[in-house]
Every structure is written in C-alpha cells, then in structure tokens.
C-alpha cells in the first residue's frame, strides 16, 4: 500500500510532469535519447543489493528497445508507452525529485519504485519487443550463413 502511495505522489509531482514534457523532445532527438540511455545505465551500475540484478536486466531490455526505436529498426511500440519509458528514465536520472538522490539510501527509493512500476506496466510491450528481437536476430543469423550450392 505504501508503494502505491509513493507512486501516486511521484506521478502527480511537478518533477514527473516535467519529465513527461521532456520525454516528447527526447523521443524526437536520437542523440539526446541515446545520451539518456547511457545516463540511466551509468546510474544503475552504481546500485547494489539482492534484487538489483533483476532490475538491471529489465532496464537493459528497455534500453535495447529504445535503441532499436532510435535506429528506426523497431517502431511497433505505442507512442504512449515510448513516452512513459522516456519520462521514467528522465525521472530516474534526475538527482532532484520527490526524494533527492543525495539523501543516503532513501534518495533512490522513489527512482527504483517508479522503474519497477514501469516494468510492471509495460510487460506486454516488453514481451512483444523480445519476440521481435528474437525473430530479428534469427533472420540476421540466417542471412549471414554461407549458402551451399549442390553441383550435379
């Protein structure tokens, strides 16, 4: 229950509203989007704890999705989902939010809670991307296989 309350406070905060507005600009600017991805991965690299590996795996999938979107390879993601992902990443990397990151331990709590909310809310989109990614890599591997020609 406390987690839902925290998420509600984050989603209605000025910090998240600003992140939502900025998300549209990031979605339309590949260079900025790639820089945001790098920042999020850098920040997640400094996290530690028992469940952080699962968190990082999910973040890695989401960043692969964003990179595929930025390159134009994957455009099946709904605009609303794309903006939600980017807004959450903007919030995640921002040091000033509901619980400022400079507060030891507590400062990252809101960031992690929001990221977990995101992962839970876009499960179907993540699964669709993973299926696309799997079939895309299989097609690439098949195209790279040397073709044998039977003679006689």
In this predicted model, what pLDDT tens digit does every residue of 60-114 receive, in sequence order?
A: 999 999 999 999 999 999 999 999 999 999 999 998 888 877 777 788 889 989 9
Two tokens at 118? 């995101």
Rounded mean pLDDT of 51-58? 87
d(CA 105, CA 6): 16
Query: Domains of the chain: which residue ranges?
Result: 2-144
Name the least confident of 4-8, 40-44, 69-73, 104-108: 104-108
| DSSP codes of every residue in 109-149 | HHHHHHHHHHHHHTHHHHHHHHHHHHHHHHHHHHHHSPPP-
Share of residues in the chain with pLDDT > 90 (%): 66
d(CA 39, CA 20): 17
In this prediction, residue 118 has a pLDDT band, given cuts at 50, 70 and 90, of very high
Helix (H, G, I), strand (E, B) or coil at 78: coil
């Amino acid at each position: 229950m406390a987690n839902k309350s925290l998420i509600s406070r984050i989603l209605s905060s000025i910090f998240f509203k600003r992140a939502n507005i900025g998300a549209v600009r990031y979605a339309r600017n590949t260079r900025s989007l790639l820089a945001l991805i790098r920042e999020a991965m850098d920040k997640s690299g400094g996290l530690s704890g028992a469940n952080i590996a699962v968190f990082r795996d999910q973040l890695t999938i989401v960043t692969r999705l964003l990179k595929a979107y930025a390159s134009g390879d994957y455009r099946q993601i709904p605009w609303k989902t794309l903006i939600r992902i980017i807004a959450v990443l903007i919030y995640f990397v921002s040091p000033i939010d509901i619980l400022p990151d400079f507060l030891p331990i507590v400062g990252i709590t809101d960031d992690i809670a929001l990221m977990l909310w995101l992962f839970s809310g876009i499960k179907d989109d993540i699964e669709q991307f993973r299926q696309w990614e799997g079939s895309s890599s299989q097609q690439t591997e098949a195209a790279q296989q040397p073709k044998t020609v039977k003679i006689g």
